Amino acid sequence: MIDHVTTQSGLRVVLGVTGGIAAYKAAELVRRLRDGGAEVRVVMTEGAQRFITPLTFQALSGHPVRTSLWDDAAEAAMGHIELARWAEQVLVAPASADFLARLVHGSANDLLTTLCLATSAPVAVAPAMNQQMWAHAATQENVERLRGRGVAVLGPASGGQACGEFGPGRLLEATELVAALADLRRQGPLRGRRILVSAGPTYEDIDPVRYLANRSSGRMGFAVAAAARAAGAEVTLVAGPVSLATPVGVQRIDVRSAAQMREAVLAHADRADAYVAAAAVADYRPAELATHKIKKSAAARALDLVPTSDILAELGQRAQRPLLVGFAAETDEVLRYAREKLVRKGLDLVAANRVGVQGQGFESEDNELTLVDATSERALGRGSKHELAQALVTEIASRLAQRPGA
């Protein structure tokens, strides 16, 4: 985390704090930003002052806190414009549903919204609200409109909430927000690119109790998503049933079955520059789904299986398609099967790895990859999935840069 923190050195941050129970976390955020060398000025809405006092932020930031557009002393010299010009980064954390709605509509009815309109600095928001409020269509539409205007949306995280409910809507922790700001400021090779990643297994239901699955943990795909985001890309992650935290700044779509994964991937593939298919999608599903639990008996039972849709092959047949990167997890003749997959599905690149080996592949922190394309093979060697993901993302960035129209 130190690398992320130190990248804030000298950065002038205006931190906006809106009304919500998560406002107390902004105090830790000020401290973390200052530990990294940032200079912080805090602007609080009227609602925020109901949860935490301006004096707390003044003590932590070392500067007076601005709370009103009608502060006679500050506004005598057009203080809100001066503050807007001073900022190199505006971060609103927590950002309430009300604030997001007002920002979308260009309201300037308090100091914080006025400042956001008046600044030329990049603006980032870290939403925090009840999970039902976050899921509401109006909030989701507002978030998408803000993203379309270049506002960075950081989080939210998922978990227990002060209201007693559980779900997405928690403010990211201070260390996560500092890391996310560092990512935003890093000029990575994928800045301006959209990367689609699929990860984890799929579950193909047999009956309401049982399902077919595989041993994929999702770690490789999640590592690729995190590396692509760190390289500056806008990342969408389609995740099968896994217990992994969403990488900071990544949009996550949870699915269960191969059919659901296909639907989610195809819905986002048209706007993606590259699709990294790291998911271990089931090859077969039960021909029929039993509506009731199948009871055990002494008799043998056959399970009739039918093939699932081949997502990569379907995309490979399109005239207009993203750069396609597949994974070949094999137990033997790894490179031969990888090259066959490359040709059969019309892929640009295959990351081949041997599974069934102690300490690498499925359910492991490490892996060993070889990149295979139409004319060559390049061994990345063995390493952590995080290290290999970074190497793969570097390769993807290089290939995208060489594409016509890049």
Q: Is 86 helix (H, G, I), strand (E, B) or coil?
A: helix
The distance of Cα 92 from the centroid of its chain, to the nearest Å, equals 18
As a CATH number, domain 194-291+298-401 is 3.40.50.10300
Which of 97, 159, 165 is CA-nearest to residue 128? 97
Q: How many Cα neighbours within 13 Å face the side chain of 119?
A: 27
For β-strands 366-372 and 377-384, DSSP reports them as antiparallel
Residues 247 and 222: beta-carbon distance below 8 Å: yes
The model scores a pTM over 0.75:
no
Which of 306, 309, 267 is CA-nearest to residue 287? 306
Strand order through the sheet with 251-254: 251-254, 234-239, 194-199, 274-277, 323-330, 349-354, 366-372, 377-384
Residues of the chain scoring pLDDT < 50? 1-7, 76-77
CATH superfamily of this structure's domain 2-185 = Flavin prenyltransferase-like (3.40.50.1950)
Alpha helices in 39-110 (DSSP H): 54-61, 72-75, 79-86, 97-104
Residue 243's φ and ψ, nearest 5 degrees, are -110, 70
Residues 7 and 182: beta-carbon distance below 8 Å: yes
Alpha helices in 158-218 (DSSP H): 174-185
In eight-state DSSP terms, residue 294 is P
For β-strands 349-354 and 366-372, DSSP reports them as antiparallel
Question: What is the reported pLDDT for 132?
Answer: 92
Report d(CA 270, CA 303) in Å as an integer.
36
List the Cα angle 265/155/10 in 5-degree steps: 125
| Tokens (6 digits) for 85 | 């010009």
Question: What is the reported pLDDT for 359?
Answer: 53
| Tokens (6 digits) for 176 | 């996560």
Residue 9's φ and ψ, nearest 5 degrees, are -55, 125
Residues 194 and 233: beta-carbon distance below 8 Å: yes
> Structural domain boundaries of the chain?
2-185, 194-291+298-401
Report d(CA 100, CA 127) in Å as an integer.
8
Helices and strands (DSSP H and E) totals, the chain:
15, 19
Say whether 194-291+298-401 and 2-185 share the same fold.
yes
Active site residues: 163
Q: Is 341 helix (H, G, I), strand (E, B) or coil?
A: helix
Report d(CA 272, CA 323) in Å as an integer.
8
Alpha helices in 186-322 (DSSP H): 219-230, 258-269, 311-316
For β-strands 166-170 and 305-307, DSSP reports them as unpaired
Report d(CA 150, CA 127) in Å as an integer.
16
